[in-house]
Amino acid sequence: MDKLRACIIGTGGIAHCHADGYVAQKDRVDLAACCDIDFEKAKRFAAEYGIPRVYASAAEMFAAEKLDIASVTTWNSAHKECTIAALDAGCDVICEKPMAMNAAEALEMRDAAVRNGKLLQIGFVRRFGDDAKTLMEMREAGRLGDVYFGEVKYLRRDGCPGGWFKDKAFAGGGPLIDLGVHIIDLARYLAGSPVPVSAYGVTYNNLGPNRAKGGASAWSAPDLKEHPFNVEDMASAMIKFDNGFSLVVSTSFNLNIPGDLVEVNVYGTKAGAHIGGETALYTDLGGSFINAELQGNSKFDFHGAFKNEMKGFVDAVLGVSPCIATADDGVYLMKIIDAIYRSAEIGDSVAID
């Protein structure tokens, strides 16, 4: 079998996880080219990974190269343009989360995949963690029963990544679109991928801009000149789904809490499942309540999950196994995010069609 010729569009932080994922599959993937609008950065990245061809734009790269697969790892506002360019150039694509700035862009991207008969996978890396895999196996074995309610939190006390992440024109929003997509998607996955029907949300921006001027921690570098802090610093919402499942989500870059917290809880008629510091099931047996902490490979490991995700992408491209984070999943998530932002704006619940 000829190796797949892979490229990376956007050679910043997360591109390293994609490159490592391809390098780990050397037997079936050649990392053939990369590009970044910051050409010097792309050159440094190429030197680090031994990538032979480097470009200053996706258009230049696709004009010069015949490539099979592409990673889109740019900031959010460039996902649509770069993904559609890669699909139109005949590539199967994995695009980082959030899929796009909004649902309208996400739909254009999905249409481009369909039009070209190509795969578009979305970077919902949490689906590829050992915790999610174990709980999904339990769900499929019927151990959770009907999953009808969930609560997810991705809260940072002082954790805006800075730079473009706080600038609406580049990011599309704050912690909801950046962190919230991971945990909303994971809960929806564990609930059997129901269709969202409505959302009621609130957003705040009380702490972020002040912290970004140089607050209690060094995380939010005072770089307000290049990128204003004009996204929310906290968002919360209730989302309802077509099968009766409902989900409460809270996310923050800045919040007066004792410490950071990431947890996903989904509650079923037979057991509740928890992902957090530990992975656990809560149920009852013979008249007693049981709290069972899962042992072995049942925890989330960031780099391990990325390796699994990139392997899953290549497996799906080669037809070894189906894609488990599809463009449709990405579109549903963007519809949810749009509805939450709109609901916060109008102060009422918003229907999702």
Contacts with ligand NAD, residue ranges (CB under 6 A): 9-15, 35-38, 41, 57-58, 73-76, 78, 82, 96-97, 123, 125, 178
Query: Are 143 and 294 spatial neighbours (Cβ–Cβ below 8 Å)?
Result: no
Q: Which two tokens stand for residue 60?
A: 């230049």
Minimum CB distance to ligand NAD, residue 242 (Å): 27
Q: Which residues contact 288 (CB under 8 A, 6 or more apart)?
A: none
Q: Which two tokens stand for residue 187?
A: 């809960």
Give bridge partners of residue 207 from the DSSP assignment.
Answer: none
Compare residues 8 and 271 and give the one whose CB is closer to ligand NAD: 8
Minimum CB distance to ligand NAD, residue 16 (Å): 8
User: How many C-beta atoms lie closer than 10 Å to residue 70's C-beta?
Assistant: 31
Compare residues 10 and 330 and give the one whose CB is closer to ligand NAD: 10
Cα separation, 169 vs 227, in Å, equals 9
Q: Which two tokens stand for residue 222?
A: 């005072």
Cα separation, 245 vs 264, in Å, equals 14
Minimum CB distance to ligand NAD, residue 41 (Å): 5
Minimum CB distance to ligand NAD, residue 305 (Å): 8
The one-letter code for the residue type at 209 is: P
C-alpha to C-alpha distances, 237 to 130, 249, 300, 343, nearest whole angstrom: 27, 5, 25, 9
Nearest CA-CA partner of 127 in 332, 326, 345: 326
* Phi, psi of 126, rounded to the nearest 5 degrees: -65, -25
In the bound state, the residue with its beta carbon closest to ligand NAD is 12
Compare residues 27 and 226 and give the one whose CB is closer to ligand NAD: 226
3 state SS of 213: coil
Minimum CB distance to ligand NAD, residue 173 (Å): 11
Compare residues 77 and 349 and give the one whose CB is closer to ligand NAD: 77
Minimum CB distance to ligand NAD, residue 167 (Å): 11
Compare residues 118 and 126 and give the one whose CB is closer to ligand NAD: 126
Compare residues 144 and 171 and give the one whose CB is closer to ligand NAD: 171
Minimum CB distance to ligand NAD, residue 13 (Å): 4
Minimum CB distance to ligand NAD, residue 351 (Å): 27
Compare residues 97 and 157 and give the one whose CB is closer to ligand NAD: 97
C-alpha to C-alpha distances, 24 to 31, 116, 117, 287, 330, nearest whole angstrom: 11, 28, 27, 48, 26
Compare residues 34 and 144 and give the one whose CB is closer to ligand NAD: 34
Question: What is the tally of helices (H) and strands (E) in the chain?
Answer: 12, 15
Work out the angle between the directed axes of helices 327-346 and 103-116 (0-180°, nearest 10): 160
